[in-house]
Amino acid sequence: MTKHPLLTPYVSKALNLKNRVVMAPLTRRRATDDHIPTDMMRIHYGQRASAGLIIAEATNISPQGTGYINSPGIYARKQVEAWKPVTGEVHKKGGVIYLQLWHVGRVSHPLLQPGGELPVSASAIKASGMISTPKGQKEMVVPRALEKQEIKNIIDDYVKAALNAMEAGFDGVEIHSANGYLLDQFLHDGSNIRADEYGGSIENRARFLMEVTEKICDAIGNEKTAVRLSPSGIYKDMFDSNPVELFDYVVDKLNRFELAYLHILEPMVELKPEEKYKKYLKEVTPHFRRVFHGTLITNCGFDFDSANKIIADGNADLVAFGKLFISNPDLVERFAAGTPLKPWDENTFYKGGERGYI
């Protein structure tokens, strides 16, 4: 492999990429109040089309799945039509773009839910922290545990969203099962205490994710379907008593789908206190490289040198970058030329407008 494997093409059964640089999905809240993508988003993604792969921001599969103001959706006709110029711009510039499908579960608030209803989750267990609402910052609420029939309905929502994404011109979809959102809430025994077939054993807790994945694969094809996991993620109060055993099972079971890729996150936050998280992996990607048989994307905290190393060592095929892409739309070109990178401005991450976005 060359000195800079990150900049070499990557070809698999599902992917044909000009380099191994991935733009990570980044919630930026530039959609309308009705969750419709804007022209600013077309410019934003088009400016970053030199990435081998763009994973567009987490996108709501339904009104119930919404937890963030001005986040885009993919459930309504106007949203599908508004995404088409975005994908068209990326394709015009030779890029490849997947859409991340999102249901936030308990990470919401009645002020963000249809009819002021409670958010839903695997169980009626509250996440700590605050959330932005149309009436300012509010404390998270105790969610309502989903009924079994409702789970089936949400699976249908995922499938419809995937089909809508294909109609909107995306090259594939990534199922968001990480970072403390709905599918992740079902996986962990700290947020799932159900007594039915979706709770209890690891097999049962993984059932929802497997059913969503199977149905989406059936609808749009395995080669257009991907999954994101955070095996050592404690974001949004996530906890599991046996995280390695849990995710060894989940990742092994995902092998049977022959996915376009698996997107694995290294820990986003420090695993403190150490006693509580002593069973958690501090280095995630090399472990799951041995478990997963397909294309593996790693993410969180990488720079040019560490990204090249993890690929050269054989522990990942592609590396995703988030904050570096915020302030460097020409990140690939800067990597190739050895040009210094511009710093990001956190004050622009979630505030609407062009500054810090395009």
**Which pLDDT belongs to residue 340?**
97
| 350 annotated active-site | no
Report the residue count for the chain: 358
CA 303/CA 329 separation, integer angstroms:
15
Query: Residue 352 — very low, low, confident or very high, per pLDDT cuts 50/70/90?
Result: confident
pTM for the full predicted model: 0.98
The alpha-carbon radius of gyration of the chain (Å, integer) is 19
Q: What are the tens digits of pLDDT across the range 42-60?
A: 999 999 999 999 999 999 9
| Residue 236: alpha-carbon gap to chain centroid | 14
φ/ψ of 196, rounded to 5, equals: -100, -165
Mean pLDDT of 304-322: 98
Q: What is the DSSP letter of 257?
A: G
Query: Residue 351 — very low, low, confident or very high, per pLDDT cuts 50/70/90?
Result: confident
Which candidate in 75, 158, 181, 280 is catalytic?
181
Q: What are the tens digits of pLDDT across the range 166-188?
A: 999 999 999 999 999 999 999 99
**Which pLDDT belongs to residue 3?**
82
Residue 122 has pLDDT above 80, yes or no: yes
State percent of the chain over pLDDT 90: 98
In CATH terms, the superfamily for domain 5-348 is Aldolase class I (3.20.20.70)
Q: Which residues contact 339 (CB under 8 A, 6 or more apart)?
A: 333
Query: Residue 1 — very low, low, confident or very high, per pLDDT cuts 50/70/90?
Result: low
Helix-helix angle 148-167:77-92, to 10 degrees: 40
Mean pLDDT of 103-132: 97
3-state helix, strand, coil in the chain (%, to 5): 35, 15, 50
Point out which residues pair with 60 in neighbouring strands: 73, 102
CA 186/CA 213 separation, integer angstroms:
14
CA 328/CA 344 separation, integer angstroms:
8
Residue 127 CA neighbour count, 13 Å, CB half: 31
Point out which residues pair with 225 in neighbouring strands: 173
Is the bond into 25 cis (omega within 30 degrees of 0)?
A: no
State percent of the chain over pLDDT 70: 99
Sign of the alpha-carbon dihedral angle for 228, 352, 107, 153: negative
Mean pLDDT of 9-25: 98
Q: What are the tens digits of pLDDT across the range 264-300?
A: 999 998 999 999 999 999 999 999 999 999 999 999 9
Residue 77 has pLDDT above 80, yes or no: yes
Q: What are the tens digits of pLDDT across the range 207-266?
A: 999 999 999 999 999 999 999 999 999 999 999 999 999 999 999 999 999 999 999 999
